[in-house]
């Protein structure tokens, strides 16, 4: 392929179109950052709730009912307090899992959006370089 053929394949974008692309890249980076920050907040809140609420509740259950399994089961008659404590304990792991998985998903989505913005910026480089080369030759 000759040099003139390869130059003809690349149509140069206008300066206004490049500035609009740069503006949309900046928006993509901001959106990606928001998703990543939200993900870190979700994962951090999961750890915070686990350490401040779930573990103390678990320790309280074990010290209050030393002869009862946390798994529950249907053995024997149990009081309403024991059943409500077991129900509260069994609710927490699913909430914590949702917070952790939601946090990781938001972080990964933020990273993906940022990478897509980087790819768009790299695709714009030949056009910007052509303007810079033209300016230096003049």
Q: Which whole number is the average pLDDT over 14-39?
A: 93
Q: Kindly tell me the sign of the dihedral angle through the C-alpha atoms of 42, 46, 51, 57.
A: positive
What's the confidence (pLDDT) of residue 74? Answer: 55
Looking at residue 117, its pLDDT comes to: 96
With contact defined as beta carbons under 8 Å apart, do 43 and 104 qualify?
yes
First to last CA, the chain: 28
Provide the whole-model pTM: 0.73
């Amino acid at each position: 392929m000759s040099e003139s053929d390869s130059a003809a394949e690349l149509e140069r974008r206008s300066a206004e179109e490049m500035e609009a692309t740069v503006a949309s890249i900046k928006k993509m980076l901001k959106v990606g950052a928001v998703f990543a920050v939200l993900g870190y907040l979700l994962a951090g809140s999961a750890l915070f709730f686990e350490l401040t609420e779930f573990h103390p509740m678990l320790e309280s259950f074990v010290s209050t009912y030393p002869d009862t399994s946390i798994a529950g089961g249907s053995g024997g008659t149990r009081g309403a307090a024991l059943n409500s404590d077991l129900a509260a304990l069994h609710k927490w792991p699913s909430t914590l899992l949702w917070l952790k998985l939601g946090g990781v998903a938001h972080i990964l989505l933020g990273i993906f959006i940022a990478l897509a913005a980087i790819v768009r910026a790299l695709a714009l480089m030949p056009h910007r370089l052509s303007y810079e080369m033209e300016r230096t030759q003049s």
